[in-house]
Structure 1
Amino acid sequence: MGNLYPTPNDWKAILVKALDMPVGDIPMIGTAYEVWDIILRRIVPYKEQSIDLLSCVTSREEVGGNNVFLLNLLDSLKDAHKRQVTAIAEAIIKKQCILFLGPSLLMCNQDGLPVPFDKAFSTELAAKLKQRSEPIFFEETKKDQLSYIAQRYNEIPTFTPEDLGQRASKFYEENQDESSLLFERLAKLYFPIIINTNPDKKLYRTIEERKPNTCIYRYYSFENNQNLSSEAQPIMNYNEQSDLAEDQPKTLFYNLLGSFDAPGSLMLSESRLLKFMDKVLRERPAIDKKIKAEFDDQKYYLFLGFDIEQWYVKILFSTVFGLSRQEGRGFSIFPENMIVIPANQDFFEEEFKFYFITNDLAKFIGQVLEKYRELGGK
C-alpha cells in the first residue's frame, strides 16, 4: 500500500472513497509505510472494511488492478465470508445451531438514538448515586459499566437486588428501542435453543407473533429454576423424518441471567454474578439438564453482539455449557462500534476455535437468511 499510495493526498483519497473515513482520522505524519501500517492495523480486525478497501484499490486499473497479491487477498476474504455464511445457514437447516444473544442487542432509545441498555441504565444509576444526600463514590471512568455501578448500590444498607431489578425493568419499559429488523430476520430462522444474556424477551415475542405456539420461554433465578419438565420434549431428540405437525420442534428461549418479568432474578451486580456462577456450578439450582444436553459436538454456535470481556463468560462456555472446541463451529458476530480486546479474541480463537466477524448484525443475518432460503430452508 505504501508503494501504491505514497503521498498524503494519495492515501487520503483512497480512504475517503473506500471507507468513508473522516479526513481528521487519517494520519498525516510519517512515511507512507508508517502511515499505512497504522491504518491497516486499525481496519484489519474488520473484515467488511478490509474487503471495501481492497475492492476499491483493485478496481483502479492504473494503480492496483494488476496487483496479483491484492486480488488474491480480496478473493480469499470474500470466499471466507461466503463459507462462514454458508456454514451457519446449513447448520440452521439441519437444526444444529444454537443462538446466543449478547448485551449489544438490548437497546434503549435516548434522545432519538439507540444506546445499549447496560450502558444507558448504568449511567442513570451512577447519576442517582451522585444525587444522594450522602453520595456514594464510584470511578467516573466506569460509570457505564453496569456490573460495577450495580455493585456500588450494595453500599446502601436498605437496597436489595429486587429493588435494583425493579428499577431496571422500569427504565427499560420507559426507554426501550422499537427497532426490530434484526429480530424479524432471526424469527424467520429456526434455532432449537436461544440463550439470551439480557433480561428482555423481545425476540421471543417476535417469534411467537410470526409462528404462534412454537417458542417456550424460561429464565434462570435462584428461587425458581423454571424447570422444563416434559414441556421441553419437542425441542430434544427431533426426528427429521416426521412430517407430523405435533412433532415439529419448538424453540426454547432461555434468559440465562434473569428476566424483567421477575426483578429479583436479575444478575446485575458483580456479587450477583459471582453468586450465579457458584449456584450454577454447584447445581443449586442447576440450569436444566435438557438444555445442557443440547451442547454436543454436532452443534454450531452463533453469538450475536456478545460481550466476551466479561469474566464469567469463559467459565460459562468451558465449564457450564462445555462448548465444542471443533474448528469452524463457533461464530461471534459483533457490531463495528464494539471494541474487543485482542488478547480476549485470541483466547476464544485458540480455546473455542471461534471465528470473529465484524459486521452490521441485521445485514449479516440477512445474508444468512438469503443463503438459508437458497439452500432450501423454509
Structure 2
Amino acid sequence: MEKELAIKNPALKRIIKRINEGTCLVILGPNLLSEDGNSINDRLNNYLAEMLPKKVTHNITEGFLSFDDRTRQIDLEDHIEEFFEDELEPNKMYEKFAEIPFPLIINTAPDKTLNKVFDEKGKGYDYSFYNKVTPPKATIKKNITQIYNIFGDYEHLDSMILTYKDLFEYLESIMGAKKFKFKDQLHESKAVLFLGFSFDKWYFQLLLWIMKVDSKKLRSHLITQDNLKKFCEEEFNVEFFDDDASEIIDELYKAKMDGLIEEKENNYEPELFISYHWSDESEKMTEVLKKQLQEENLRILIDKDNLAYKADIKDFMRRIGKTDGAVVVISKGYLESINCMRELLELYKVYENEEFLVRIFPICLEDANFFDGKELLKYEQKWKDKLQIIEKEYRERGQSAGNVLDEDYKFIKEIIEKFTEITQKLAEINLSSSKVLKDTDFKALIADIKKIF
C-alpha cells in the first residue's frame, strides 16, 4: 500500500493497474529513438539522401523520399540494411521499456531495435509485420509480448513506406484487408499508451484511421502544440500526461523494479479444436490423435466430448472461434455433413486471410478424394441439390416449411458460396496422407502445431 501511495499521478496509477491486468497496449512512435530531435524516419531519409545524393530526394516537410524504380531495385536495400544494423542501437529508454510486460507493442517504425533488446535480455516475444504486398503468415503465441511493425520491416523493402506511392499502395492494401490484425485486442484493451510520436505527422493520422480508435480512451506523452493537443483531445479522446515519453518510461520501470508491476507467467495452455465426422475411420483416427495431442499439454475441444446435452449450439460455435487452431479431418462424410461444414465455415470466418492457412491443420482421408477436382465439383453439386429440395419445400408448404428449414437454407447457401474458396485454400497446404500421419504417431502434424503455440 505504501508503494502505491508513492505514485502521485492518478493516471499513471491507472496505467500500472491496466498493465497488471494485461489490458494496456503500447504504440511506439519513431521519435523514441530520436537523435538531435530527428526521428528514426527522418534519420533514415537523411541517411539515404546523403548516401545517394543524385538518386534520392528527401522532402523534409512531408517526410517522404522520391527516387526512381531502378534506384529502389538496385541501390536502396543495402543502404537501408546498413542504416538499421550499423547506425541504430538501443538507448537506455529501450532497455527500461523492455522490462515492462505489455501484451502488445505496435511499432510504427520499420526497425527491430526493440527486438534486439528482447533478444539480449533473453525475453520471449513474437514478432510480425504488415506487408502491403504479401502479408506474412501469422503465429499464435499467448502470454508473451507481441511486437507488430504496422508500417513494415526494413529487411523487406516492399513493406516499407518511403514514398507517396508507397503510402497510396499501403492505403489500398489495408482498406482491402478484412480486418486489422490486432483490432480485437485493441478493442478489448482498457488503455492504449502512445510513446514517441509527433502527432502532426502522416503516420499518426494514418494509424488512428486504421485503428478507428476515436471511441477509445488513450493516453499519450505531452505535446506542446496547444491547438494540436486540443484537436487530438476532441477528435480522438486522447488524454495527455504532463511528462515526456522518457519520464513515463522511467516511472513505469521504477514501478516494475519496486514490484508494483508483476511479471507475467507464460502458463497459457493452447486450445485446439478437432473437427471431424462421426464415422468409423474418422472417429478412430481422432481418438488416437486426441491422446497424442493431450500428451503435448494441448487442451482439446471436440463437439462429442464438450457439447453438453441440450447445450446451445451457437454458443459452442462461438467457443470454436476462440480456439487457437483446429485440426480438420476431411472425409467424404465430412464434406457432405451440414454440421461439419458449419464448423469449417465458422473456422474460415474467424481465421481470416493468411491466418486460416496457419491455424488450420487438415488431415485428408482417402475416401474424400479431396485433390480430385471432379470429385469436389460433385460435392458442390450435392449441396446445390439439397438447396433445390428446400426451395421446393418452400414453394409447396410456404411459411410452415420456413420455420423448420430457414437455418439449414441459410447455411447451405453459404456452403455453396464458399465451397470453392475454402477447398482451394486447403489445397494450398502440403498434406501428408492420413495413413502416413497415423503410422508415425502424427509426429509431423504435432511438430507443425507446436511451431505456432
Compute the TM-score of the two structures, normalised by the length of structure 1: 0.59
Q: Aligned ranges for residues 24-43 of structure 1 at < 5 Å? A: none
CA deviation string 1:67-115 (max 9, x = no partner)? xxxxxxxxxxxx997112111111111100111110112346xxxx785
CA distance in 1, matches of 2:122, 2:60: 40
Q: Point out which structure has higher relative CO (alpha carbons under 8 A, 6+ apart).
A: 1
- The alpha-carbon deviation at position 191 of structure 1 amounts to 1.3
CA deviation string 1:343-362 (max 9, x = no partner)? 33222211222122353433
CA distance in 1, matches of 2:188, 2:163: 33
Matched-pair contact (CA < 8 Å) for 2:126–2:141: no
Change (3 A) 1:124 1:294: same
CA distance in 2, matches of 1:203, 1:168: 17
- The alpha-carbon deviation at position 216 of structure 1 amounts to 0.5
User: What is the SS of the residue equivalent to 1:294?
Assistant: helix
Kindly indicate whether residue 220 of structure 2 is the aligned counterpart of residue 332 of structure 1: yes
Larger Rg: 2
Amino acid at match of 1:91: R
Change (3 A) 1:341 1:233: same
Change (3 A) 1:341 1:105: same
Match of 2:230 among 341, 346, 349: 346
- The alpha-carbon deviation at position 258 of structure 1 amounts to 0.9
User: What is the SS of the residue equivalent to 1:100?
Assistant: strand
- The alpha-carbon deviation at position 254 of structure 1 amounts to 0.6
- The alpha-carbon deviation at position 165 of structure 1 amounts to 4.7
Change (3 A) 1:161 1:310: farther
Change (3 A) 1:270 1:342: farther
CA distance in 2, matches of 1:323, 1:304: 16
CA distance in 2, matches of 1:116, 1:322: 25
CA deviation string 1:46-79 (max 9, x = no partner)? xxxxxxxxxxxxxxxxxxxxxxxxxxxxxxxxx9
- The alpha-carbon deviation at position 127 of structure 1 amounts to 4.2
User: What is the SS of the residue equivalent to 2:241?
Assistant: strand
Partner of residue 33, structure 2: 106
Matched-pair contact (CA < 8 Å) for 1:182–1:365: yes
CA distance in 2, matches of 1:343, 1:220: 32
Kindly indicate whether residue 81 of structure 2 is the aligned counterpart of residue 191 of structure 1: no
Q: Aligned ranges for residues 285-300 of structure 1 at < 5 Å? A: 287-288=180-181, 291-296=182-187, 298-300=189-191
CA distance in 1, matches of 2:77, 2:221: 28
Matched-pair contact (CA < 8 Å) for 2:25–2:192: yes
Amino acid at match of 2:221: I
Q: Aligned ranges for residues 304-323 of structure 1 at < 5 Å? A: 304-318=195-209, 320-323=210-213
CA distance in 1, matches of 2:200, 2:7: 25
Kindly indicate whether residue 121 of structure 2 is the aligned counterpart of residue 121 of structure 1: no
Partner of residue 388, structure 2: none
* Root mean square deviation, CA, Å: 3.1
CA distance in 2, matches of 1:166, 1:146: 21
Aligned pairs, number: 257
Partner of residue 158, structure 2: 264
Amino acid at match of 2:173: K
Change (3 A) 1:315 1:115: closer
Match of 2:17 among 63, 66, 90: 90
> Gaps (5+ residues) in structure 1?
1-78, 235-248
Partner of residue 81, structure 2: 169
Amino acid at match of 1:94: E
Amino acid at match of 1:118: N
CA distance in 2, matches of 1:310, 1:167: 24
Amino acid at match of 1:377: E
Change (3 A) 1:374 1:352: farther
Match of 1:361 among 228, 245, 257: 245
Q: Which moved more, 1:340-349 or 1:86-95?
A: 340-349
Match of 1:377 among 240, 259, 262: 262
Partner of residue 6, structure 1: none
CA distance in 2, matches of 1:144, 1:167: 23
Amino acid at match of 2:110: P
Match of 1:232 among 127, 130, 140: 140
Runs of 4+ with deviation above 4 angstroms: 135-138
CA distance in 2, matches of 1:162, 1:116: 26
Change (3 A) 1:362 1:194: same
Change (3 A) 1:81 1:159: farther
- The alpha-carbon deviation at position 161 of structure 1 amounts to 6.7
User: What is the SS of the residue equivalent to 2:128?
Assistant: strand
Partner of residue 254, structure 1: 148
Partner of residue 175, structure 2: 281
Question: Percent identity at matched positions?
Answer: 23
Q: Which moved more, 1:354-363 or 1:82-91?
A: 354-363
User: What is the SS of the residue equivalent to 2:193?
Assistant: strand
Matched-pair contact (CA < 8 Å) for 1:325–1:351: no
Partner of residue 72, structure 2: 160
> Gaps (5+ residues) in structure 2?
1-5, 264-453
- The alpha-carbon deviation at position 295 of structure 1 amounts to 1.3
Q: Aligned ranges for residues 206-221 of structure 1 at < 5 Å? A: 206-212=117-123, 214-221=124-131
CA distance in 2, matches of 1:218, 1:281: 19
